Structure 1
Amino acid sequence: MPNVKYLCVLPTVEKDTDRLTKLTVRGTLTGNPQEFSVNFVNDPTCTDNITYHFKVLVRLQTIIENYKQKGEWSLSHKETYLNIFDGTGSIDSKSDLINNNNAADAISSTETDFYLEFTLDYANSTIVVYQLRDSGHNFICEYNTLFDLTEIQAVQIWGDVQKINLFAMGYD
């Protein structure tokens, strides 16, 4: 498993109206990246409970969404085939990508930057993910969480990340 590259403990809030509603992350991946993930964890010192796990398998252009409870990953995870680097939308199937021998060529050396926004909807216990571009927000996915979003205490970034260029938090 890759190492944690970045950890941000969220500030404690005094009331429900002062809570994280938006997280923006911009980063650069290492050369020949395989994967990276953003975890919204319920304890900054322990990863036994993860409210939301957003993982990108770069070469396969696959996004995996999941959660972890009491140290066990959920069996019901969600996979989406999408190239978040070019914003063109989904791929029909992973087998098409592999059968066309495009997996190794899916990401060029100039496409190693990511720019994501996570919007937290407390009323519906969902997290919506967007890819940010000059042309605006491109919807990537929406995930219904098992845990209440108020349980999130930290954000971790794992995997083949060379550097975080921007980490911004928006509050109510």
Structure 2
Amino acid sequence: MSRPFIAIIPQSINDGDKVLLKGLVKDNANEFSINFATGTGPNPEDIAYHFKTIFPENIVVENSKRNGDWMDEQIKEWPASDGPLKVHLALNYSHFPNNKDNPKSSSISGPGFALEFAFTSGYVYTYLVEDEHSRNLISFYEHDYDLNEINSVQVWGDVEKIQELTFRYS
């Protein structure tokens, strides 16, 4: 994306709420990130949760940002048994039966991703959505933000387009 995708969260996030995000990454993607920020502009001072995938290194990076300063990041390797992260995201996304932009089709530029973020008062759980009824836990991240402070979801990096953004309130 030449500029970030920014969506305003329509109502406060509370314990038990979820956000589903589906999109397509560029053909030669190196990385992309998803931020749950307390601001709505492209350079927020505070990010409650930052999730970044780095495909060549097969890792996920998580952290937060407070008053413009990044906190300690947590780096997690994608399990070797799951194969490369980019391929795994694409293969799982292709299982959606109603997916018009199937990542295996030649009409799109890159593989797709489907991620769900589940919020609790102390943690954000990130799931790889395999189909409409199946999710695999990628990671959980301990945060110290009040969930009500989160105002936007932002997508940065090598993303071709966002296809779906769904808010599931408990």
| TM-score bucket of the superposed structures, by smaller chain | 0.7 to 0.9
Counterpart of 2:152 in structure 1: which amino acid? A
Change (3 A) 1:80 1:159: same
Q: List structure 1 segments (4+ residues) > 3 angstroms apart after TM superposition.
A: none
1:63 match: secondary structure? strand
Equivalent position of 1:65 in the other structure: 62
The number of aligned residues is 144
From the CA coordinates, give the structure whose radius of gyration is larger.
1
Q: Does 2:31 align with 1:28?
A: no
Distance 2:36 2:158 in 1: 18
Equivalent position of 1:9 in the other structure: 8
Cα shift at 1:119: 0.4
Q: Which runs of 5+ in 1 are unaligned?
A: 88-108
Distance 1:165 1:78 in 2: 28
Change (3 A) 1:60 1:114: same
Distance 2:126 2:3 in 1: 21
Change (3 A) 1:20 1:9: farther
TM-score by length of 2: 0.76
Equivalences for 1:9-158 in 2 at 5 Å? 9-13=8-12, 21-45=17-41, 46-74=43-71, 76-82=72-78, 83-84=84-85, 85-86=87-88, 112-122=111-121, 125-134=122-131, 136-158=134-156
> C-alpha root-mean-square deviation of aligned residues, in Å?
2.3
Cα shift at 1:23: 0.5
2:148 match: secondary structure? helix
